Amino acid sequence: MTYNKKSVEDVSVAGRKVLVRCDFNVPLKDGVITDENRITGALPTIEYLRKNGAKIILCSHLGRPKGEFNMKYSLAPVAKRLSERLGTEVPLAADVIGPDAQAKAAALKDGDVMLIENVRFHSEEEKNDPAFAKALADLAGEGGLFVNDAFGTAHRAHASTAGVADYLPAVCGYLIQKEISIMGKALEDPARPFVAILGGAKVSDKIGVINNLIEKVDTLIIGGAMAYTFFRALGNTTGSSLCEEDKLDMALDLMAKARAKGVSFLLPVDNVIGREYKEDTTFMRIYSDSIPDGWMGLDIGEKTQELYAKTIIGAGTVVWNGPMGVSEWENFASGTRAVAKAVAESGAVSIIGGGDSAAAVEQLGFADKMTHISTGGGASLEFLEGLELPGIACLEDKE
Ligand code: AMP
């Protein structure tokens, strides 16, 4: 799926009311934002709109308030932090589409910024209810514009991510533009060799991605628990490793497809195994691709790390989603660390899907060595799967 969508730079914004869907779903602890990457990520679009004289109405979801006003999920901490970061007061409406939001939107002057409350305070948001979408669009009103800059929810057809585009002209912000241009290029015209690294818990979560990437990559590297489903499909023992018994045929089909396409399909050749699924479990390395009874595979071994690193270092493009082992636990983090290091050193165009792999890269201090760390785990997976993302499909195409 390639997108050639209009961005904020392709339309006039001066004097217009612009409803901007951001991803302000930040982690909070006792009302304090513990990681403000998402706020930082939203600033370029907001600053562009301010500089160009738009009247800016920001909206986002935060957490899962289940369709009710619940101040635990209020965007108040975001409004406060945004005010500090932008150096201008960003008032927060007490409601989403109610009288306060309407009054504050009506009072906006050119360059002003406001935030409405959590769109998920209304159950109509996730149902993509047309009346709710229209009420959101009406905040921008006649002559208004919708800007979607929330890549993390672009795979959801919700009122504030897609529905509003039925009532307002719609373009993307810088964040979405960057996501679709870098990932789009990797899928359509990658620097080769193109290597995809897939890890994580389940093959079943990533069948679509593997299927789509087999059509495009030169090498597919498999790690994480999903490797054990492939092991079992090949007739190896897997002990008590996480293994999807009902996906063995599919695993064989995927490997056959890779063979038919000339894609090299790499599985671990050695493993770190533990007695139990516990952080402090007894563990050891085994120089085998079979896991003995009473043990479970929890990370890739050193030989595999070397083999994978060598392949990654020679790549032109790398796409990575999912850890190589239980990287949350130090004893089983070295595979993920080795892969992160290799990607950082590869000099390849490197794209990190969100979630655990992005967290690992950041935690290890490699973030600035990557070409792109996606801001949406689920959305980037669906993008790599070749699926249409409703929050992007609804935007206007460039002529
Ligand atoms: P995913 O969300 O599918 O990318 O999976 C990430 C999760 O997979 C992380 O929480 C890891 O701890 C887990 N994981 C990776 N390797 C293994 C493994 N060998 N056994 C159990 N869980 C694993």
d(CA 230, CA 286): 18
Q: What is the predicted pLDDT for the residue at 168? A: 98
**Could you give the percent of the chain with pLDDT greater than 90?**
91
| H or E segment to which residue 248 belongs | helix 248-261
Q: Is the pLDDT of residue 348 over 90?
A: yes
DSSP 3-state assignment of 215?
coil
Q: Read out DSSP for 72-134?
A: GG-SHHHHHHHHHHHTS---B-SSSSSHHHHHHHHT--TT-EEE---GGGSTTTTTT-HHHHH
**pLDDT band at 360, cuts 50/70/90?**
confident
Q: What is the predicted pLDDT for the residue at 336? A: 95
Digit-coded pLDDT (tens) for 168-203: 999 999 999 999 999 999 999 999 999 999 999 988
Is the beta carbon of 276 within 6 A of some atom in ligand 1?
Answer: no
Q: Is the pLDDT of residue 355 over 80?
A: no
Beta pairing partners, 265: 220
**Contact status, residue 206 vs residue 226, Cβ threshold 8 Å:** yes
**Contact status, residue 227 vs residue 268, Cβ threshold 8 Å:** yes
**Contact status, residue 224 vs residue 325, Cβ threshold 8 Å:** yes
Q: Average pLDDT, whole number, for the chain?
A: 95
**Contact status, residue 196 vs residue 212, Cβ threshold 8 Å:** no
Domains by residue range for the chain, with CATH: 8-175 (3.40.50.1260), 190-384 (3.40.50.1260)
Beta sheet of 17-21, edge-to-edge order: 113-115, 55-59, 17-21, 145-148, 170-172
Query: What does DSSP say about strands 145-148 and 349-352: parallel, antiparallel, or unpaired?
Result: unpaired
Is the beta carbon of 298 within 6 A of some atom in ligand 1?
Answer: yes
List, in order, residues 6 or more apart from 248 with CB less than 8 Å away.
Answer: 229, 232, 233
In the residue annotation, 38 being an active-site residue is answered as: yes
In the residue annotation, 275 being an active-site residue is answered as: no
Please give the C-alpha separations between residue 261 and each of 37, 170, 193, 211, 300, in angstroms, as whole numbers: 39, 39, 14, 11, 26
The structure's pTM equals 0.90
Q: What's the average model confidence in pLDDT over 120-147?
A: 98
In the residue annotation, 355 being an active-site residue is answered as: yes
Q: What is the predicted pLDDT for the residue at 375? A: 85
Catalytic residue among 202, 257, 275, 285: 202
Digit-coded pLDDT (tens) for 1-57: 678 999 999 999 999 999 999 999 999 998 899 989 899 999 999 999 999 999 999
| Residue 254: HSE in the Cβ half-sphere, 13 Å Cα cutoff | 29
Digit-coded pLDDT (tens) for 362-393: 888 999 999 999 988 889 999 999 999 999 99
Q: What is the predicted pLDDT for the residue at 357? A: 86
Q: Which atom of ligand 1 is nearest to 206's Cα? A: 3
Roughly what angle, to the nearest 10 degrees, separates helices 37-51 and 76-86? 60
Is the beta carbon of 201 within 6 A of some atom in ligand 1?
Answer: yes
Q: Which atom of ligand 1 is nearest to 224's Cα? A: 16
Q: Is the pLDDT of residue 134 over 80?
A: yes
316-341: b (≥16 Cβ within 10 Å) or e:
bbbbbbbbbbbbebebbbbbbbbbbb
Pocket test for ligand 1, best of 267, 326, 327, 363 (most atoms within 8 A of CB): 326
Is the beta carbon of 297 within 6 A of some atom in ligand 1?
Answer: yes
Q: Read out DSSP for 132-177?
A: HHHHHHHHH-TT-EEEE--GGGTTS--TTTTGGGGTS-EEE-HHHH
**Contact status, residue 312 vs residue 339, Cβ threshold 8 Å:** yes
**Contact status, residue 395 vs residue 171, Cβ threshold 8 Å:** yes
Distance of CA 130 to the CA centre of its chain: 26
Q: What is the predicted pLDDT for the residue at 358? A: 87
Digit-coded pLDDT (tens) for 285-300: 999 889 999 999 999 9
Digit-coded pLDDT (tens) for 47-97: 999 999 999 999 999 999 999 999 999 999 999 999 999 999 999 999 999
Q: What is the predicted pLDDT for the residue at 399? A: 84
**CA-closest candidate to residue 267, choices 224, 329, 212, 238:** 224
Q: Which atom of ligand 1 is nearest to 299's Cα? A: 19
**Residue with the two structure tokens 């691709």:** 289
Q: What's the average model confidence in pLDDT over 114-139?
A: 98
Digit-coded pLDDT (tens) for 312-342: 999 999 999 999 999 999 999 999 999 999 9
Q: Which atom of ligand 1 is nearest to 228's Cα? A: 19
**pLDDT band at 205, cuts 50/70/90?**
confident
Q: What is the predicted pLDDT for the residue at 120? A: 98
d(CA 337, CA 339): 5
